[in-house]
Structure formats: structure tokens, C-alpha cells
């Protein structure tokens, strides 16, 4: 009887394990459907700026050449310290040997070329809403940047967060590609939603997270604790946020708040990127933020 019970328990555990393995498997986009796309490097520059790739992946302390994407910046969190990798076109230490399809699956599905899950510190949780053509354009632009052979450093994560397969279960629970702010939006609000929710991933910093690191959509853009443990990232929505569309757009252009304070911290890099886009793009983000409010 005991032997039969042990066998039954073993079968149950085997079934559960197989189910978890299946649920945690990578779910890539169809590679064949991505192969024909042709990227436009010039258009990709604007995607690069809006997506803030250089803000995280530029060489630490580099102000002269922010397009040298050697990685190395550290991002502390409750789960450990994530370290931005080299995403320059170097074929050995960067992404120079990635195909366009592999790049798109990395940015939109969080899957590496060898089939491993990327941690959601990489904001594919926002890029999943992007247009595939925009990611193809981004690939073309990034492949035109200078290569650098600086090796990427491994993340500093403890058990069980160092088990990448577990990220697949996290994705099954929390990765979603639908819009958060919906309804009858104007053309500007729709464009702003695309920029803010997909490319610029504003919520990744300005929205609080659950204990498992998922964004709390019920508190969208209402501010969040700083992952570094120092201070709080401010709300950009809600009753206490009273900036006008002009205030928001001007801030994203100049870095000056309505009270003539100056942008600081990691937001300074965001402003430096968005400043280089057209004023209509910044106005669209402002329209979206007011709608989200």
C-alpha cells in the first residue's frame, strides 16, 4: 500500500513538474514572419531615443559618447542587482551576431537567441506593445553604432531568482500586451499612449509593483519606491499631479519643472533623449499623461 501511494505521489509530482516546465517555456514570435522585414536605421534612431536604450546601456560615466553601449550599469532591486549587458554591435560580447528576428524576440518577448528568458528588469514588458516594424528599425539603427568588446557582467541574484526558467512562470502570470489606458482617445492621446506605455516605458519606474515585481495597474503612474532604496519616484498622475500639458511637454524638452527646479537622477537621461524628438511627440506624451490622470 505504501509503495502504491509513493508511486501515485511520484506520478502527481511528475505531472505537476511537466506542467510547470510547459508553462515556463519561451513563447517567441514566429521567426519566419520576421525575416522579410526591412529596418530603416534613420527611423530607428527615434525609436532608440524614445525607448531610452542608451540610458541604461551606455558606458558608466560616459557623457562624451552615449552611443557606446558597453553596459555595466547596476540596478539594485529587492531581488538582487541587475547589470545592463553590452548591446553594442560587437559580435562576441554584444549583439553583433544576432539576427533581426532574434533581436525582435529579445525586445518584445524577453527571449535570448539561445532560448533563455531575460529578466523583466529589461522592459520587454512594455516593448511587448510596440510595433514589430519599429523594432526592426531599432535593430537597423543599433547595428550602425560603434562596436565595443567589453564583456557583459553577470547579474548578482540569489536563489531562487537566479533560476531563469522561473521567469517563464512570471511571464505566464504577468506579461500582457494590452493597453492600460483605454477608451475613446484622441489621435494625440493614442500616439502618447504608444510612446508612454510601449516605447518610453514610463510605468516601469512611476508605477508601484507587487511582491513578485509585477506592475500594479490599479495604481498606474501614481509613483513608486525607488528600487535603490533612496527616496520615491514621483507620481505623474492622480489628484496631486496638477501639471498642465504645457508643463509636461516643456519639462520633457528642457528639464525644467513648473517651479523652475531642474531634472535630476535617471530622469535626466530620459529628458536628454526626448528633447531630441519632435515637439509633437512630447506633446503627445503630455496629452496621454493628462488622460491617464
Closest alpha carbon to 119 in 175, 72, 73, 67 = 175
Specify the 3-state DSSP secondary structure of 108: helix
156-157/80-83 β-pairing: antiparallel
Q: Which domains does the chain have, with CATH numbers?
A: 31-174 (1.10.760.10), 187-292 (no CATH)
CA dihedral sign, ordered 262, 263, 268, 270: negative
Give the Cα separation of 241 and 99 in Å (integer): 43
Q: What is the pLDDT of residue 18?
A: 55
Q: Does the global pTM surpass 0.75?
A: yes
Give the Cα separation of 82 and 76 in Å (integer): 6
CA dihedral sign, ordered 270, 272, 273, 277: positive
Question: Which region, left, alpha or beta, applies to residue 221 given φ > 0 means left and ψ of -120 to 50 means alpha?
Answer: left
Q: What is the pLDDT of residue 66?
A: 58
Q: What is the pLDDT of residue 61?
A: 67
Reading the chain (293 residues) residue by residue, the pLDDT tens digits are 566 555 555 555 455 555 555 555 677 787 777 777 889 999 999 999 999 998 889 877 665 555 889 998 898 888 889 999 999 999 999 999 999 999 999 999 999 999 999 999 999 999 999 999 999 999 999 999 999 999 999 999 888 888 888 899 999 999 999 999 999 999 999 999 999 999 999 999 999 999 888 999 999 999 998 877 777 889 998 888 899 999 999 999 999 999 888 888 888 889 999 999 999 999 999 999 999 87
Q: What is the pLDDT of residue 168?
A: 92
Q: Contact, 205 vs 220, CB < 8 A?
A: no
Amino acid at each position: 500500500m505504501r509503495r502504491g501511494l509513493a508511486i501515485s505521489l511520484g506520478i502527481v509530482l511528475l505531472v505537476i513538474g511537466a506542467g510547470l516546465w510547459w508553462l515556463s517555456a519561451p513563447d517567441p514570435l514566429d521567426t519566419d514572419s520576421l525575416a522579410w522585414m526591412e529596418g530603416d536605421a534613420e527611423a530607428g534612431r527615434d525609436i532608440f531615443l524614445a525607448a531610452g536604450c542608451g540610458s541604461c546601456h551606455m558606458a558608466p560615466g560616459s557623457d562624451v559618447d552615449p552611443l557606446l553601449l558597453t553596459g555595466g550599469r547596476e540596478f539594485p532591486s529587492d531581488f538582487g542587482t541587475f547589470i545592463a549587458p553590452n548591446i553594442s554591435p560587437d559580435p562576441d560580447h554584444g549583439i553583433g551576431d544576432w539576427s533581426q528576428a532574434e533581436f525582435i524576440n529579445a525586445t518584445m518577448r524577453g527571449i535570448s537567441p539561445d532560448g533563455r528568458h531575460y529578466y523583466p528588469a529589461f522592459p520587454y514588458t512594455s516593448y511587448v506593445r510596440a510595433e514589430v516594424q519599429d523594432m526592426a528599425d531599432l535593430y537597423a539603427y543599433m547595428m550602425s553604432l560603434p562596436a565595443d568588446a567589453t564583456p557583459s557582467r553577470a547579474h548578482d541574484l540569489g536563489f531562487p531568482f537566479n533560476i531563469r526558467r522561473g521567469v517563464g512562470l512570471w511571464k505566464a502570470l504577468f506579461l500582457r500586451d494590452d493597453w492600460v489606458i483605454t477608451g475613446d482617445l484622441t489621435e494625440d492621446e493614442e500616439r502618447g499612449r504608444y510612446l508612454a506605455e510601449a516605447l518610453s516605458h514610463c510605468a516601469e519606474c512611476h508605477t508601484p509593483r507587487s511582491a513578485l515585481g509585477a506592475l500594479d495597474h490599479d495604481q498606474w503612474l501614481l509613483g513608486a519606491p525607488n528600487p535603490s532604496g533612496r527616496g520615491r519616484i514621483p507620481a505623474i498622475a492622480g489628484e496631486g499631479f496638477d501639471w498642465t500639458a504645457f508643463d509636461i511637454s516643456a519639462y520633457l524638452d528642457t528639464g525644467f519643472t513648473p517651479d523652475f527646479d531642474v531634472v535630476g537622477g535617471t530622469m535626466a537621461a530620459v529628458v536628454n533623449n526626448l528633447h531630441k524628438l519632435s515637439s509633437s511627440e512630447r506633446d503627445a506624451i503630455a496629452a496621454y499623461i493628462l488622460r491617464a490622470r
